Amino acid sequence: MVGLVLHRLTTFPTPVALNLFLVAFAGAALALLIGLIALVQIWHNGYAGAGGAAIGILLPLLMAIWPLAYLQAYRNMPALNDVTTDLASPPRFTVLAKQRVESNNGPVYPTARFAELQQKSYPDLRTFVIDRPVEETFELVEETAARLKWKVVLADAPVGKTAKGGLLEAIDQTLVMGFTDDIVVRVEGNLNRSRVDVRSASRYGAVDLGQNATRLRRFLAELKARSETTSPQIAGRRGLRSTRTGAMAKRAKDKLPEKAASRSERDRAQSSAQRARAQKETPR
């Protein structure tokens, strides 16, 4: 429990935390064995301490429930720790590549080992194509990452005129254990259409229990929802500013006919009053 709290809430190194977990489970197995031997001795010889021996057995069993709960998922999930929407040319890490070199899993996507298995296991993970300018699409990607509470370490926006793609790199942690996973999003396209490819990779462990695929699905679903709820002219921060300006201009334009109408009514009223005074002043 101490190792879990330190790893989840602080910068406690993952390799050290994994070693602590192994030592803890080894100690629990030893405690379970000693408790069983004690119960046998107590049963045959009538020694005292049955309650303490029972607790010594119960605590390791409770501790074993946690990893056993993931056993079914471990058996059913594919042996993947790196998932992408583009198997032919996966997005590459740049800033996070240095940190991944120091971890158990390298920065390069193992296409030879993972591509075919991922295609069979997660055929729904594909490139997201959107009819938006590439710069605008990158803004949607940034907003989506913020909503998912990713820790963004790189946001290299695309430049439409030079056809330069955009790249976003971020870090996310698993909910319980706090294992660090790295994400890279690549945005390419032109002024009319954009392609979004995303990759999520675990720094440690040979199996991710489907965590990276779930993260990609959540990201793509959120990105799609944001693209559908915003029109091409108002998506993103720059678009929102232009929308506010356009709305103010429209309100001002709508007020012009009202002002013109009110002025014409005042002019008619004034002319009528002038004619009435003229009639009164005219001698009969």
- Name every residue whose Cβ is closer than 8 Å to that of residue 139 and which is 6 or more positions away in sequence: 235, 236, 237, 238, 239
169 and 92 fall within a common domain = yes
276 and 190 fall within a common domain = no
64 and 102 fall within a common domain = no
**Domain tally, the chain:** 3
Q: Residue 162: pLDDT band by 50, 70, 90 thresholds? A: low
- Dist CA 152 CA 36 (whole Å): 51
User: Given this model, what pLDDT does residue 243 score?
Assistant: 41
Q: Mean pLDDT over all residues of the chain? A: 82
User: Given this model, what pLDDT does residue 110 score?
Assistant: 92
Task: Say if 77 falls within a structural domain.
Answer: no
- Dist CA 128 CA 246 (whole Å): 30
Query: Tokens 């909910």, residue?
Result: 175
Task: Say if 76 falls within a structural domain.
Answer: no
277 and 163 fall within a common domain = no
219 and 261 fall within a common domain = no
Q: Residue 245: pLDDT band by 50, 70, 90 thresholds? A: very low
Question: What does the pLDDT average to over 123-137?
Answer: 94
User: Given this model, what pLDDT does residue 39 score?
Assistant: 87
Backbone dihedral angles phi then psi of residue 199, each to the nearest 5 degrees: -140, 135
244 and 189 fall within a common domain = no
53 and 183 fall within a common domain = no
| pLDDT over 90 percentage in the chain | 41
143 and 240 fall within a common domain = no
pTM for the model stands at 0.71
198 and 242 fall within a common domain = no
213-230 confidence digits (pLDDT tens): 999 999 999 999 999 988
134 and 227 fall within a common domain = yes
For residue 89, give its domain range.
Answer: 82-232
132 and 179 fall within a common domain = yes
Question: What does the pLDDT average to over 37-58?
Answer: 85
Q: Find the range with the poorest average confidence among 99-108, 159-168, 194-203.
A: 159-168
What does the buried/exposed string (b/e) look like for 214-232 if buried means 16 or more CB atoms within 10 Å of the residue's CB?
A: ebbeebbebbeebbeebee
34 and 142 fall within a common domain = no
User: Given this model, what pLDDT does residue 270 score?
Assistant: 54
